[in-house]
Amino acid sequence: MTDSRISPLYPFAEAARIAQTPTSTLRSWFPKHKGESLNFLQLVEAYTIQTLRSRHQLPMRAIKSALYYLKKETGADHPLALAHLGFETDGCELFITHLGQLVSATAQGQIAMGQVLKAFLQRVDHDKAGLATRFYPFTRDFRTDSPRLIVVDPLFNFGRPCLARRAISTTIIARRYKAGESAEELADDYKCTRDEIDEAIRTELELACAKN
């Protein structure tokens, strides 16, 4: 059986919408990618990169340097989707935990110390091998207090954002709300809480704003 995480589920425009970055920017992050769609692990990498840029203001040149080093050292195609590397950043460099030490991936392996910031990786679930299985996107401008009510999981809703507890598409909820149905009516119809409905609508608003 093919691992759904490596299936091309996300056309660039949709991947860019979820990662909250312009499509042209996303394409620049995957210059050697020949297809028109990304897989889930690539989406996790894109979302991690955008988090590093938006939440931690890490320069893209530092991220690219870190990715080159990580791929070389780990042999992994998608190192940013791994759990065991223990990513951290101080806003200038990207660090990994290696042999009990904090190593600067940005500086090609030079030992360094930095402030521990793990905003995004705390929102990723991994399998026993340490590879990402699903993630809970930020819904409040990359704030760490964003609730984990919305999930992106390649096994549900074709990998698009949906309610974590009910696997109901946030896009459908937002469309019904925009068409005039109240949040209370939607919560009753889908047998979920008002908080879940509000978060689904907020997710779509956040993604729409990021796209613009």
Is 49 a member of any domain?
no
CA–CA distance from 19 to each of 13, 29, 136, 139, 147 (Å)? 10, 12, 12, 11, 17
Is 25 a member of any domain?
no
- Look at residue 178 in the predicted model and tell me its pLDDT: 95
On the question of pLDDT at 187 being above 70, the answer is yes
Is 208 a member of any domain?
yes
Counting the structural domains of the chain, the total is 1
On the question of pLDDT at 132 being above 50, the answer is yes
Domain ranges, residue 209: 136-212
Is 59 a member of any domain?
no
Is 115 a member of any domain?
no
Instruction: Check which CATH number belongs to the domain holding 212 and give it.
Output: 1.10.10
Is 79 a member of any domain?
no
Is 169 a member of any domain?
yes
CA 8/CA 33 separation, integer angstroms? 11
> At a CB cut-off of 8 Å and minimum separation 6, what does 125 contact?
132, 133, 134, 135
- Look at residue 54 in the predicted model and tell me its pLDDT: 78
Locate the DSSP E strands across 7-147: 10-11, 37-38, 88-89, 94-98, 101-104, 110-111, 124-126, 132-135
pLDDT (tens digit, 9 = 90+) per residue, 55-86? 767 788 877 877 887 787 778 888 878 776 66
CA 165/CA 13 separation, integer angstroms? 26
How is residue 80 annotated by DSSP?
A: G
pTM of the model: 0.81
Question: Which position has the higher pLDDT, 54 or 135?
Answer: 135
- For the record, the structure tokens of 128 come out as 């026993």
Q: What is the mean predicted confidence (pLDDT) over 10-14?
A: 95
- Look at residue 34 in the predicted model and tell me its pLDDT: 84
pLDDT (tens digit, 9 = 90+) per residue, 150-171? 999 999 999 999 999 999 999 9
Is 156 a member of any domain?
yes
CA 197/CA 188 separation, integer angstroms? 10
